[in-house]
Amino acid sequence: MENKILLVHGSGGRLAHELVERNFVKALANPLLAKLDDSAVFDLSGRLAFTTDSYVVSPIFFPGGDIGKLAVCGTVNDLAMSGAKPLYLSLAFIIEEGLAQSELDQIVASIKKAAKEAGVKVITGDTKVVNRGSADKLFINTAGIGIIPEGVNISGSNAKAGDRIILSGTIGDHGIAVLSQREGLSFSTHLKSDLAPLGKLVTEMLAASSNIHCLRDPTRGGLATTLNELATQSKVGIRIEEEKIPLREEVLGACEMLGLDPLYIANEGKLVAIVPAEDADGVLEATRGNRYGKEAAIIGEVTTKHPGRVVMKTSLGTSRIIDMLAGDPLPRIC
Amino acid sequence: MENKILLVHGSGGRLAHELVERNFVKALANPLLAKLDDSAVFDLSGRLAFTTDSYVVSPIFFPGGDIGKLAVCGTVNDLAMSGAKPLYLSLAFIIEEGLAQSELDQIVASIKKAAKEAGVKVITGDTKVVNRGSADKLFINTAGIGIIPEGVNISGSNAKAGDRIILSGTIGDHGIAVLSQREGLSFSTHLKSDLAPLGKLVTEMLAASSNIHCLRDPTRGGLATTLNELATQSKVGIRIEEEKIPLREEVLGACEMLGLDPLYIANEGKLVAIVPAEDADGVLEATRGNRYGKEAAIIGEVTTKHPGRVVMKTSLGTSRIIDMLAGDPLPRIC
């Protein structure tokens, strides 16, 4: 009989301690985590970044990743988008009674691998188990702490007219890859999620220009929503060109079949950078030099016209207002 | 018709932004949160504590509190148990589609009130909505950052033979108060959860002696499990006296009725301190001087005998080994 996670594993008692010891402390071994005090304690000084996300993606395994890799990369990327070097993560599981131990093992292995690549340490955590039917297999929350190098000042409110907009690669890969696995909807595709930790890419971009104004990863809500957020926060207009946006054939095909717009589909390994015009080529080159930025492109610019609005010049040469996502085509995509 | 939270509120799009703006940014107003960048950014230097917990308590409202107050106090207390002054919280919601907006409002109001009392700021957050049946109303995760004053060195591994064990008040109040509200089990009691932020109590205890060796809050698994953890981590024996453990009549009555042992019932506003014998009276007095420590007592001491074990002298004068919690009498108590 397959081993399953039981309610008692969340009790705080002996079996809970064993679960934590076997699954997390051993697998994610580091001295801070191993102390098992109520908090992890460490020395750190400077300008810090702090962020959190819960991950409820369904299904928990998908082409190109799983909820564990997502929980590391998603939070690492939120730190990186503040210009911070990601350092530490917390890791909190809400497990539905009955989850297979083997699935949990696989997810913890993904977390370990992703944390190693991202250069972060999981130093504190929590495990709760809820009765069957009170959650859907597994939810994970991570919070992260990073440190921002001197001279870096990145915020969604820093975009200036004349700035160029760099997108690090193709859009929609994550959303369509997850969607392809949904029950009752599965379609055949070779597409994988773009899920990746972007900390090193950001470091390399900042080496090309410490004057990057904005960074943001277009996750839920997609590129369209991210650009709208930036336009609103910075009180500027944004103009992009449809033809310049990198897009895979498979994503375009799936979107046409399902009636979705790739501008609104989630990404998990892409970023948007807004940089002064004079630094744009240098930052683009640095982006393309990283494995996660090979298909980067300058897709548009910041304008004084229509502040708070995003306008796209379509392939046909017309202009179209790109609004923020209004409905939700893809619940539980991250 | 009552307003309810819908899937679209978790989409990352326009309605999600409105939900965050209305419910969180306004209610929990502070300049760091209001920036709405991917991470909150602040300057901080020193010895930091970092912790996380997810809260899945059922029901989400109970006598003496709700899941919102719990999510603040639980994480604040984990920071305080490391001797840290709690500073910042992250706040992540997983909402089941259909939760009443009025319930969410009430919970956010509780969070605001508890954060104010605890002296912490919620500076970053996340909201996910899952389809009906994929969660149970509402789960909350908080992570916290605190700063540890110079000269304070608290860890579960610091207990020394001869140290005294101080318990800050009655045990079992939280677990029995939540249990009294469970469907199919409700019983009449005037008992309230002891849920409270303990940061200020710890500050006052540390003012009486900066040489406190261990602090821990006996939450899931109760006093018995906490003492076992401390005995194991410090490789010492612990001896306590049943008669010295503060216990309310109502908790004793409910435990007798339900066949539960109050030593294993969760608390959310209590702490155990292990202090050198010569400092014990001073720390006890400081504890009793705080509103959350009025019924504090010295309940036992640390010994060189039976390392890793907890032994209790019972009211009858016999000795009983107190093991860690093995089963789970009360799932989803926090």
Nearest to B78 among A38, A94, A216 (CB): A38
Q: How confident is the model at residue B24 (pLDDT cuts 50, 70, 90)?
A: confident
Question: What is the 3 state secondary structure string of chain B?
Answer: CCCECCHHHHCCCHHHHHHHHHHHHCCCCCHHHHCCCCCEEEEEEEEEEEEEEEECCCCCEECCEEHHHHHHHHHHHHHHCCCCEEEEEEEEEEEECCCEHHHHHHHHHHHHHHHHHHCCEEEEEEEEEECCCCECCEEEEEEEEEEECCCCCCCCCCCCCCCEEEECCCCCHHHHHHHCCCCCCCCCCCCCCCCCCCHHHHHHHHHHCCCCCEEECCCCCHHHHHHHHHHHHHCCEEEEEHHHCCCCHHHHHHHHHHCCCHHHCCCCCCCEEEECHHHHHHHHHHHHCCCCCCCCEEEEEEECCCCCCEEEECCCCCEEEECCCCCCCCCCCC
> 3-state DSSP call for residue A162?
coil
The residue of A6, A7, A11 whose CB has the most chain B CBs within 10 angstroms, and thus the best one to mutate to test that interface, is A11
Q: Among residues B150, B182, B165, B187, which one has the least CA distance to residue B231?
A: B165
Chain B residue whose CA is closest to A83: B39
Chain B residue whose CA is closest to A332: B130
Contact: A45, B41; criterion CB under 8 Å: no
Nearest to A92 among B16, B53, B229 (CB): B53
Q: How confident is the model at residue B243 (pLDDT cuts 50, 70, 90)?
A: very high
Chain A residue whose CA is closest to B139: A94
Query: Mean pLDDT across the stretch B67-95?
Result: 98
Q: B113-133 b/e with 16+ CB inside 10 Å = b?
A: ebbebbebbbbbbbbbbbbee
Higher pLDDT, B238 or B34: B238
Q: How confident is the model at residue B18 (pLDDT cuts 50, 70, 90)?
A: confident
The residue of A21, A28, A32, A41 whose CB has the most chain B CBs within 10 angstroms, and thus the best one to mutate to test that interface, is A41
Query: Mean pLDDT across the stretch B286-290?
Result: 98
Tokens of B15: 């309605």
**Quick one: angle between helices B199-208 and B67-80, nearest 10?**
20
Tell me: pLDDT of B197 over 90: yes
Domains and CATH numbers, chain A: 7-148 (3.30.1330.10), 164-322 (3.90.650.10)
Query: Mean pLDDT across the stretch B257-282?
Result: 96
Tokens of B224: 């018995």
The residue of B18, B25, B30, B39 whose CB has the most chain A CBs within 10 angstroms, and thus the best one to mutate to test that interface, is B39
pLDDT of residue B186: 65
A316 to chain B, closest Cα gap in Å: 27
DSSP A10: G
Contact: A130, B56; criterion CB under 8 Å: yes
Residue B314 CA to residue A184 CA, distance in Å, equals: 61
Contact: B41, A53; criterion CB under 8 Å: no
Q: Among residues B188, B182, B194, B258, which one has the least CA distance to residue B222?
A: B194
Close Cβ partners of B63 (under 8 Å, ≥ 6 residues apart):
B177, B180, B181, B189, B191, B192, B193
Contact: B39, A46; criterion CB under 8 Å: no
Nearest to B52 among A92, A221, A326 (CB): A92
pLDDT of residue B14: 86
Which residues make beta-bridge pairs with A143? A52, A90
Backbone angles phi, psi at A188, to 5 degrees: -85, 125
Query: Mean pLDDT across the stretch B77-97?
Result: 97
pLDDT of residue B38: 85
Q: How confident is the model at residue B293 (pLDDT cuts 50, 70, 90)?
A: very high
The residue of B9, B21, B38 whose CB has the most chain A CBs within 10 angstroms, and thus the best one to mutate to test that interface, is B38
Contact: B42, A48; criterion CB under 8 Å: yes
Tokens of B11: 């989409």
Tell me: pLDDT of B17 over 80: yes
Q: A171-202 b/e with 16+ CB inside 10 Å = b?
A: bbbbbbbbbbbeeeeeeebebbbbbbbbbbbb
Contact: A14, B51; criterion CB under 8 Å: no
pLDDT digits (tens, 9 = 90+) for B94-147: 999 999 999 999 999 999 999 999 999 999 999 999 999 999 999 999 999 999
Nearest to A136 among B54, B134, B141 (CB): B134
A66 to chain B, closest Cα gap in Å: 18
pLDDT of residue A186: 65
Higher pLDDT, A184 or B61: B61
Report ipTM for this prediction: 0.95
pLDDT of residue B182: 84
> Where does A259-303 show beta strands of DSSP type E?
272-275, 297-303
> 3-state DSSP call for residue A138?
strand
Tell me: pLDDT of B258 over 80: yes
Measured between beta carbons, which residues in chain A are less than 8 angstroms from residue B55?
128
pLDDT of residue B275: 98
Nearest to A326 among B13, B35, B37 (CB): B13
* pTM to 2 decimal places: 0.96
Query: Alpha helix (H) ranges present in A259-290?
Result: 277-288
Tell me: pLDDT of B27 over 90: no
> 3-state DSSP call for residue A170?
coil
Average pLDDT of the residues of chain B: 94
pLDDT of residue B21: 85
Contact: A42, B48; criterion CB under 8 Å: yes
Residue A114 CA to residue A68 CA, distance in Å, equals: 8
Residue A53: enclosing H or E segment and its boundaries? strand A40-55
Residue B11 CA to residue B131 CA, distance in Å, equals: 12
Measured between beta carbons, which residues in chain B are less than 8 angstroms from residue A53?
92, 126
Measured between beta carbons, which residues in chain B are less than 8 angstroms from residue A46?
43-45
Tokens of B285: 């007095």
Higher pLDDT, A37 or B74: B74
pLDDT of residue B1: 57
DSSP A59: S
Query: Mean pLDDT across the stretch B139-163?
Result: 97
Residue A128: enclosing H or E segment and its boundaries? strand A121-130
> Where does A133-269 show beta strands of DSSP type E?
138-148, 164-167, 214-216, 237-241
Tell me: pLDDT of B209 over 60: yes
Contact B38, A86 (CB under 8 A): no
Measured between beta carbons, which residues in chain A are less than 8 angstroms from residue B93?
54
CA–chain centroid gap for A313, Å, is 27
Angle (CA) A242 A248 A249, round 5°: 100
B133 to chain A, closest Cα gap in Å: 7
Q: Which residues of chain A fall short of a pLDDT of 50?
A: none
